Structure 1
Amino acid sequence: MPTPDYILELRRVYGQGLLLLSGVCGVVLRDDLGPGGQHLLLGRRADTGRWSVPAGIVEPGEQPATTLVRELLEETRVLVLPERLAWVVTDPELVYPNGDRCQFVTSVFRCSYVSGEAEVGDEESSAVGWFPVDDLPELNEIQQRRIARALTDDDRCRFET
């Protein structure tokens, strides 16, 4: 899904200044793909070419877990069940190629696979796939930390201080 309409409207009024936005991402685990234990769902971002956990922006009136389910289905064609909130963190500021600035307060959910075949569902990803948890492609530090927090056996949500 492209940039939500309400953000485009904010940009028309506010310009390229820093927007604080609510984001979600899902660390989706599946253990029925045969040898290799658990597998993790990743998407290759069309804008950067980097692998990441699927993510999205919470829209007005939407609950974060609902956003997550919607975004994952749109982006990966996979239906998930959010199991727990693993981490809430303010990510570093992003500056997009067009000069727009934003910063996300991201809710990281640990999710289980329900159904669907992983495939590219929209223009935000160039590839989607399942990877053994112990053999992931190169990921940046933010993605590694999101995954590590969700993979812990600690059921408590973590917060940065």
Structure 2
Amino acid sequence: MPTPKFILDLREKIGHDLLWLTGITGVVLNDADEVLLVRRADTGRWSLVAGILEPGEQPAVGLVREIEEETAVQAVVERLVSVESLPPSSYPNGDQVQFLDLCFQCRAVSGDAQVNDDESLDVRWWPLNDLPELSDREQVYIKNALSPAAQPLYVTAAD
């Protein structure tokens, strides 16, 4: 996954110190109620489409951009599913990050799902009853996106 230039510029100043970033994740559904997944080039695992907002970019606009860049699918954002602070993590090079992740439910409107950049090894639609192994967080995102509840989920008390 190529690192955005603004992050490379920040890393020149802060080194490997913890960097707070805004992540965006999409639960993209089609008319057959299948979910769009990408097989990540960096880990080989299947995942929801996700990315990092550019400075000043609106979250829904950034997610639509990421979906098209990674999968060639054009989508519209239907609703905010959740807002969640993820735990800190480190990349193999020692860079430390922590994400505020905004998850959105999206609907595909056109385009054939395909690998569209070097971030993915494969892209495809998966039936909801036959998903590959996903992270616990991504399973919760899908469950929440399919919930009829209209309000976004967020943590209201410290654990």
Q: Fold-level match, TM-score > 0.5?
A: yes
Question: Cα offset for 1:128?
Answer: 0.5
- The one of 41, 66, 71 equivalent to 2:66 is 71
1:92-111 aligned within 5 A? 92-111=87-106
TM, length-normalised to structure 2: 0.95
Alpha-carbon displacement from aligned partner over 1:19-54 (angstroms, at most 9, x marks no partner): 11001011001124xxxxx10000011111111100
Alpha-carbon displacement from aligned partner over 1:49-108 (angstroms, at most 9, x marks no partner): 111100011111210000000000000110000000010001122211111110110000
Partner of 2:131: 136
Partner of 1:20: 20
CA distance in 2, matches of 1:47, 1:101: 17
1:112 aligns with 2:107: yes
Aligned residue identity for 2:10: L
Once the two structures are aligned, what percentage of the paired residues are identical? 53
SS in 2 for 1:158: coil
Question: Cα offset for 1:3?
Answer: 1.1
Aligned residue identity for 2:66: E
Partner of 1:83: 78
1:2 aligns with 2:2: yes
Is there any run of 5+ residues in structure 1 with no aligned partner, and where? 33-37
Question: Cα offset for 1:5?
Answer: 0.6
Aligned residue identity for 1:140: S
CA distance in 1, matches of 2:96, 2:142: 25
Partner of 1:35: none
Partner of 2:11: 11
1:157 aligns with 2:155: no
Is there any run of 5+ residues in structure 2 with no aligned partner, and where? none
CA RMSD of aligned residues (A): 1.0
Aligned residue identity for 2:153: R
CA distance in 1, matches of 2:27, 2:45: 16
TM, length-normalised to structure 1: 0.94
